[in-house]
Amino acid sequence: MDQQYYIKLEEELGAHNYNPLDVVLHRGEGVWVWDVEGNKYLDCLAAYSAVNQGHCHPEIMRTLIEQAQNLTLTSRAFRNDQLALFYQEICKLTNSHKVLPMNSGAEAVETVIKAVRKWGYKVKGVPQDQAEVIVCENNFHGRTITIVGFSTDEGSRSGFGPFTPGFKIIPFGNAGALEEAITPNTVAFLVEPIQGEAGVIIPPAGYLREVKTICEKNNVVLVLDEIQTGLGRTGKLLAEQHDGIEADLTLIGKALSGGYYPISAVLSSKEVLGVLRPGEHGSTFGGNPLACAVARTAIKVIVDENMVENSAAMGEYFLSGLSNIKSPHIKEIRGKGLFIAIDIVPEAGGARRYCEKLMAHGLLCKETHENTIRFAPPLIITKEEIDWALERIETVLTT
């Protein structure tokens, strides 16, 4: 079948809640993907960082097949032999004390909101139903009603109200604004270490250290959403490590399965998760043996194959190469590790047209908002592959 057949069928039968580039992918291996017509592309999005380990990593695939032949789902009504081992290995890797597994990133965010509110009432002594969670402008934490209710992106919010109360929005990267916003009813500060969907917005150096100190001083739980930034994307296992801190609660997902199976987790280095009792929160698929087995191998290959270190080195190399491109269309280039963005000047006609041109040259990336191109290839990318990408990026941005 040619691509237009699939595109027409999708447009006819599917809800139009996405605006994808018109490429129909069929196969992936490492950093490369192929469409249904056999054209080859370098993937510089990595499924929004869900395939940090590369497409169809063979070791994760073996685990998926082996576990699928043994046991896939028990629900949490019973125990399984993969969940406890997943807990042990992720806690050791991230220096966490407790874990609560879920399926999607949005579910992890919803979970942590419930947990910090309960902690606020049971431990901090906040009056019932008065708990406040502070978040940042231009945040992206998912698509549920509660989450879009504290978004500042009108496209995410419009037409979906009424929204869940209890959230206060402050500027990102401004520790002073956090201190001013805290009240006796504040239970948590939920923040991305680097704002991904906003366009790879990097806060000032030391920002996370400052907010950690402020949260400790005011008995506020610091929650870092590392669903995109975590597991090597920024050149550290967790982006919090750039500022040398440990969050009280950390959210991970996406690359936790290497793109094979949905799994997310709330990691706690503080006894916040201890407030949840049986029956108060759960998920039929959360912590299932297939997901846990896959996650165990997915994090193992990140460590064993030095993907975090490669992300740091190749990210620096990629940024250096981009900085050498002389184009009147480029406003700014920024990034950390292999989490990189190019802002296009508004008069250049928007980032989408450049993503489409790059696709025609065999490179897949995606615009975020109107004028930003984001590059986030799998963490296994090599210098040679980056050079290949840089040639095409320079061609598209200079012609």
What is the structure's pLDDT at 98? 97
Alpha helices in the chain (DSSP H): 3-13, 46-49, 58-70, 83-94, 105-119, 145-149, 154-157, 175-181, 207-217, 289-304, 307-323, 351-360, 383-398
Bridge-based pairing state of the strands 372-375 and 366-368: antiparallel
How many Å separate Cα 48 from the centre of its chain? 7
The active-site residue, picked from 236, 254, 336, 366, is 254
Q: 350 versus 269: which is more confidently predicted?
A: 350
- Angle among Cα 105, 107, 110 to the nearest 5 degrees reads 115
Kindly list the distances between the CA atom of residue 186 and the CA atoms of 1, 97, 210, 226, 293, in Å, as whole numbers in the listed order: 56, 23, 17, 21, 37
Here the CATH number for the domain that contains residue 339 is 3.90.1150.10
Mark whether 225 is an active-site residue: yes
Angle between helices 289-304 and 58-70 (to 10 degrees): 160
Domain boundary among 304, 322, 337: 304
Angle between helices 289-304 and 307-323 (to 10 degrees): 60
Per-chain mean pLDDT for the chain: 97
The span from the CA of 392 to the CA of 343, in Å, is 17
The active-site residue, picked from 86, 140, 189, 285, is 140
Residues 68 and 15 in one domain: no
Here the CATH number for the domain that contains residue 240 is 3.40.640.10
pLDDT tens track for 3-44: 999 999 999 999 999 999 999 999 999 999 999 999 999 999
What integer is the mean pLDDT of 149-160? 96
| Containing structural domain, residue 28 | 3-56+306-398
Bridge partner list, 27: 34
Residues 192 and 281 in one domain: yes
What is the structure's pLDDT at 236? 98
Residue with tokens 């165990």: 296
What is the structure's pLDDT at 294? 98
Q: What is the tally of structural domains in the chain?
A: 2
What is the structure's pLDDT at 383? 98
Of the pLDDT bands very low, low, confident and very high (cuts 50, 70, 90), residue 1 is confident
What is the structure's pLDDT at 269? 82
Tell me the pTM.
Answer: 0.97
pLDDT tens track for 239-264: 999 999 999 999 999 999 999 999 99
pLDDT tens track for 279-316: 999 999 999 999 999 999 999 999 999 999 999 999 99
Amino acid at 263: I
The active-site residue, picked from 225, 285, 336, 375, is 225
| The length of the chain, given as a count of residues | 399
Contact 285, 104 (CB under 8 A): no
Hey, how many other C-beta atoms are within 10 angstroms of the C-beta on 145? Answer: 12
Of the pLDDT bands very low, low, confident and very high (cuts 50, 70, 90), residue 270 is confident
Contact 265, 102 (CB under 8 A): yes
What is the structure's pLDDT at 292? 98
Residues 348 and 313 in one domain: yes
Contact 149, 163 (CB under 8 A): yes
Residues 336 and 231 in one domain: no
What is the structure's pLDDT at 271? 86
Taking only Cα atoms into account, the Rg of the chain, rounded to an integer number of angstroms, comes to 21
pLDDT tens track for 74-107: 999 999 999 999 999 999 999 999 999 999 999 9
Residues 201 and 322 in one domain: no
306 closest CA partner among 224, 387, 382: 382
Share of the chain above pLDDT 90, in %: 98
Mark whether 140 is an active-site residue: yes
Residues 212 and 327 in one domain: no
Mark whether 254 is an active-site residue: yes
What is the structure's pLDDT at 85? 98
The span from the CA of 72 to the CA of 83, in Å, is 12
Domain boundary among 304, 337, 364: 304
Domain boundary among 304, 320, 341: 304
Q: In this model, does residue 184 exceed pLDDT 80?
A: yes
